[in-house]
Amino acid sequence: MAPSAPAKRKLLKPPMRIECAREGNQGTHFLGYGANVSETGVFVQSLAPRPPGTRLKLVLYLGGETGTRICSEAEVRWTRGYGGKKAPSAGMGLRFTNLRAADRSALLATCNTPAIVESATIAMRARVERRNNEG
């Protein structure tokens, strides 16, 4: 079989970790991973969403724990429970209620960055050979 054209591997951005600030400067605890982020809010994937109307103090990590960190207050606007493996992710939609202008700019820059980037070219032949060796 003749080798076909090389395939390009795609890389996703790392998930946006979101933590919730504890009362009295007692640190933070993991809330979930952010998806569908905008300058007005974010959907947080979580199996334990808070009820609508709940106010939270968020810490968002835009580039992993070493990247930009944004702190904002937010309100839970809606929730979605677990609907099975093929259903959309469980979680909650949050609306930012106290976002500084600099943090809003950082969010806009993140939103405007493509989610998928191209990386190294992979020869199709190597992938086929590896698959044949596994069987």
CATH of the domain at 86: 2.40.10.220
Q: Is residue 25 part of a domain?
A: yes
Evaluate if pTM is beyond 0.95: no
- What one-character-per-residue DSSP string does the chain give? ----PPEEEEEEPPPEEEEEEPGGG--EEEEEEEES--SSEEEEE-SSPPPTT-EEEEEEEBTBTTS-EEEEEEEEEEEE----TTSPPPEEEEEESS--HHHHHHHHHHHTS-SEEEEEEE-HHHHHHHHHHH-
Q: Is residue 63 part of a domain?
A: yes
Domain region containing 110? 13-115
pLDDT values of the chain reduced to their tens digit, one per residue, 135 residues: 455 554 444 444 567 888 888 766 677 788 888 888 888 889 999 988 999 999 999 988 877 555 678 889 999 999 999 888 888 889 999 999 988 998 888 888 777 766 555 545 555 555 555 555 665
